[in-house]
């Protein structure tokens, strides 16, 4: 049984992430979505909030997916979970350099763990959590970019901070 880790900040989850989860499930028996607890960037949502949002979606749409959190090195986490691979979404050429560097560094740290890249649907190729936050903060609509539960939380969070 191949187990694959889909790691990320998920701050917040978007339809682009969901697209990658769906594609991973077509190829791998066990998919673990792993939220990093200590990203270098200051997240908008706490790790508990990010986990809640992902679990709400997983319960409804992907009951077989495990949602987890991790800290420290990704390859150490993957080893602890007995995963064989890591999946990352690549949207555009701009993502490639960073992802390539990270994949090769992870390979150096743990040669037995493969990185698999997947492309989301074209209509999500310009979608990112960063832009979603920026649009929401500036009062724009994020409908169709994030699931309803995420949209609601974004509205609540931004109301609270304004
Ligand atoms: O969603 P993101 O922010 O692009 O995800 C980046 C993530 C979490 C995959 C990356 O920052 C990561 O793997 N962090 C864990 C620390 C680590 O292993 N660093 C060495 C990478 S070569």
Q: What is the pLDDT of residues 54-64, one digit of tens each?
A: 999 999 999 99
User: What is the predicted pLDDT for the residue at 120?
Assistant: 96
Taking the CA of residue 73 as reference, the ligand 1 atom at the shortest distance is 18
Is residue 1 scored above 80 in pLDDT?
Answer: no
Whole-angstrom distance, CA of residue 2 vs CA of residue 117 = 16
pLDDT confidence band for 13 (50 / 70 / 90)? very high
pLDDT digits (tens, 9 = 90+) for 78-120: 999 999 999 999 998 889 999 999 999 999 999 999 999 999 9
CA-based nearest residue to 12, from 159, 161, 162, 149: 149
Supply the pLDDT for residue 39: 64
Ligand 1 is surrounded, with C-beta below 6 A, by: 7-9, 36, 39, 73-74, 102, 105-106
Active site residue 130: no
Q: Give residue 8 CA to ligand 1 midpoint distance, Å.
A: 7
129 is known as an active-site residue: yes
**Using alpha carbons only, what angle is made at residue 59 by residues 56 and 65, rounded to the nearest 5 degrees?**
110
């Amino acid at each position: 049984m191949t187990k694959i880790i889909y790691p990320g900040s998920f701050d917040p989850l978007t339809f682009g992430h969901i697209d990658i989860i769906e594609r991973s499930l077509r190829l791998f028996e066990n998919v673990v979505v792993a939220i990093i607890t200590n990203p270098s960037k200051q997240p908008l949502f706490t790790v508990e909030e990010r986990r809640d949002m992902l679990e709400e979606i997983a319960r409804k749409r992907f009951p077989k997916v495990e949602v987890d959190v991790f800290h420290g090195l990704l390859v150490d986490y993957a080893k602890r979970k007995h995963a064989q691979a890591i999946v990352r979404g690549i949207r555009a050429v701009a993502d490639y350099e960073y992802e390539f560097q990270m994949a090769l560094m992870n390979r150096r740290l743990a040669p037995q763990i493969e990185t698999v890249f997947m492309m989301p649907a074209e209509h999500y190729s310009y979608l990112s959590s960063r832009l979603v936050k920026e649009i929401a903060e500036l009062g724009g609509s994020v409908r169709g970019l994030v699931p309803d539960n995420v949209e609601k939380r974004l509205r609540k969070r931004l109301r609270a901070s304004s």
